[in-house]
Structure 1
């Protein structure tokens, strides 16, 4: 990314420019060529050949029988909420430690997000807490794969099956990850992915919805096409093109899909590179974790991550604040992450808690993320050296 563009982005967001930002989106393949092709072909609306190509690749990557490209992961989650038939009086169990879109999709249907605690080793939703939160009002579980490491989906699937509720993967960070050898996106009834600028592969904005239940496929097409039977009409399965259900304009443009296709084609190389950088971080900070100076997340042996992010858990919030300031002084961006939703104004207004959220509250105050993006190279060593000095002083 050009330095001038980084500075503009930082000015817009109110942040200072960093020599080493937390995230640096990069062109990694045929982005310019594909976008130029799209411009020359003159088909800018969605559902063209670039969209079809992206969906085909995503089906291969996820093992899902049906994938729809949409304009954001937020859109995918909103579609999932509609497909869950959520309405007033319904409840959805979800972690509080997640991005607001996870809960917003539930609230927009008039349902109630029920916040539960997370596991301290992965920061993923705690299946035991989920089991205790189930009531006759529970309609779905929205499980977040934090840092690209899948949640304990077998345990969650057992709970969902026992109570006849829908299991949704918020896999915004997890494309390319695996759980017991199975790809993220194939582990629940529905799965939402993100291609935001902060993700491993990006189209600036963008998302996808994977649909693993045959009985939801037809309605998903209708919902994405503004509640119309457009898809059936063009397939010759309906006599008239008309409004048949609720929906919205969820498709991305072909230019967005063109950029995404170029990135998806390079996904394996991107993941390999990011995993390498994450492994260097892990090795560099293991001794400090053994000393009790910090804590590190633990990837379960049955999970394969995708190198989406690397974080440190400091001893308290004050220490984190000092660490971020020290790194800032050396031009390195190290942000914290989510403010727990149950403690937010909207979370208190629209949601409710089940059980104690002690782990969420404690770890959210201690977590800091290190820069991690494609082709960092020796920049990783500068981050490590600076971070170790900040931690030891």
Structure 2
């Protein structure tokens, strides 16, 4: 039996809640299940305002609009990330200044940030890779010194913490993904979290196509109209209903993923040393939401060989991001700096299968036989 890299987990209640949403007679958006999901995140994760979106990319685009990014502005973004982390700001006309990863993990190197800041810098985007926090105390201090916005791309980081605070509640704004590869899912889907009062009201207007429609339905204005820029960022009630079933089971899902993470970590230590492979570091000050388990191979050839070895055993393992600073789209716009750590992870990082119903013993058995 083949073992895929990812398999969506269904709690059993998804179709029940979708049927309920249909029977309630409103499936467009910002209805019963949307409000239920948003209230959960506000009450349990410490966000001042939570808005469901159709994707994490949409949530990032809302951040770029809220930050008033315009041509001539610069935004600092890690090179080792998904294209959306940068693209949302490029669409607003920003120049992207790519930052390198740390030597021991793919997160942004906070010690190099100040050297990238100038009077055109408007925001810093941090990506909590594998659900493990960037050094948010240092990053927020730098942002405060230079009056910059911090946007947390927490696509992979649902439920993770830094110094006791949930990721996504520390920066001025944050985004999450509920894509089917994430810990809790809705197929596609995302969340915008707002933590700065300045952006709360405008976020809702941008979310509702540039109108004050949400205020109208709450009875706060007697009519609604076009008052700002925006787009149709809110998801349907079908997506929200699916997500609610996942939210109800978030503790069970996280517990299972942590069991899998620790099985990998406990089983692969000797094998990794033998082959000079680095295992994903176990978070210390930060918490671990077990979004993924990765290896950093000695060489790109070793990584390719392990992928091929597992493939012969019907197990799919995959590498991850290619450095954005050398991408076809942006390489000619990059300032020419080398980003060796980002390139190292692009060439040598390998992700192992991670999903709720994984036969992890089989994966480990065949990995050790390499």
Question: Is 2:326 the partner of 1:352?
Answer: no
Q: Deviations over 1:344-369 (max 9, x none)?
A: 111224x5358531111112100111
Match for residue 255 of structure 1? 238
Following superposition, the deviation at residue 59 of structure 1 comes to 1.5
Given the alignment, which residue of 54, 71, 74 partners 2:54? 71
Q: Deviations over 1:105-144 (max 9, x none)?
A: 0100010111110113221000012121111111000000
Match for residue 255 of structure 2? 272
Written as runs of structure 1 = structure 2, the 5 A alignment for 1:290-309 is: 290-291=273-274, 293-309=276-292
Q: TM-score, normalised by structure 1?
A: 0.91
Question: Is 2:361 the partner of 1:381?
Answer: yes
Provide the C-alpha distance between the structure 2 equivalents of 1:306 and 1:68, rounded to a whole number of angstroms: 22
SS at match of 2:23: helix
Provide the C-alpha distance between the structure 1 equivalents of 2:101 and 2:12, rounded to a whole number of angstroms: 37
Question: Is 2:262 the partner of 1:282?
Answer: no
Provide the C-alpha distance between the structure 1 equivalents of 2:11 and 2:330, rounded to a whole number of angstroms: 38
Task: Select between 284-293 and 218-227 the one with higher mean Cα deviation.
Answer: 284-293
Given the alignment, which residue of 59, 62, 70 partners 2:42? 59
Q: Deviations over 1:269-317 (max 9, x none)?
A: 1111101101110111212344452012223411001000001111111
Q: Deviations over 1:164-212 (max 9, x none)?
A: 0100000000000010111111110000000000000000000000000
Task: Select between 227-236 and 275-284 the one with higher mean Cα deviation.
Answer: 227-236
SS at match of 2:330: helix
Given the alignment, which residue of 105, 110, 117 partners 1:134? 117
Task: Select between 118-127 and 271-280 the one with higher mean Cα deviation.
Answer: 118-127
> Quick one: structure 1 residues 216 and 282, their matched pair in 2 at CA, closer, same or farther if it must change by over 3 Å?
same
Following superposition, the deviation at residue 37 of structure 1 comes to 0.7
SS at match of 1:139: strand
Provide the C-alpha distance between the structure 1 equivalents of 2:96 and 2:189, rounded to a whole number of angstroms: 24
Q: Deviations over 1:60-94 (max 9, x none)?
A: 33211210011100000000011111000001101
SS at match of 1:347: coil
Match for residue 100 of structure 1? 83
Following superposition, the deviation at residue 385 of structure 1 comes to 0.9
How many residues are aligned here? 370
Q: Deviations over 1:297-344 (max 9, x none)?
A: 223411001000001111111111111111111110101000111111
Match for residue 9 of structure 1? none
For structure 2, the residue ranges without an aligned partner over 5 or more in a row are none
SS at match of 1:308: coil
8 A contact 1:121–1:297 mirrored in 2: no
Provide the C-alpha distance between the structure 2 equivalents of 1:123 and 1:231, rounded to a whole number of angstroms: 39
Runs (4 or more) in structure 1 with deviation over 6 Å come to none
SS at match of 2:11: coil
For structure 1, the residue ranges without an aligned partner over 5 or more in a row are 1-17
Task: Select between 246-255 and 236-245 the one with higher mean Cα deviation.
Answer: 236-245
Provide the C-alpha distance between the structure 2 equivalents of 1:285 and 1:356, rounded to a whole number of angstroms: 32
Provide the C-alpha distance between the structure 1 equivalents of 2:336 and 2:141, rounded to a whole number of angstroms: 19
8 A contact 1:114–1:354 mirrored in 2: no
Match for residue 345 of structure 2? 363
Provide the C-alpha distance between the structure 2 equivalents of 1:45 and 1:263, rounded to a whole number of angstroms: 20
Following superposition, the deviation at residue 248 of structure 1 comes to 0.2
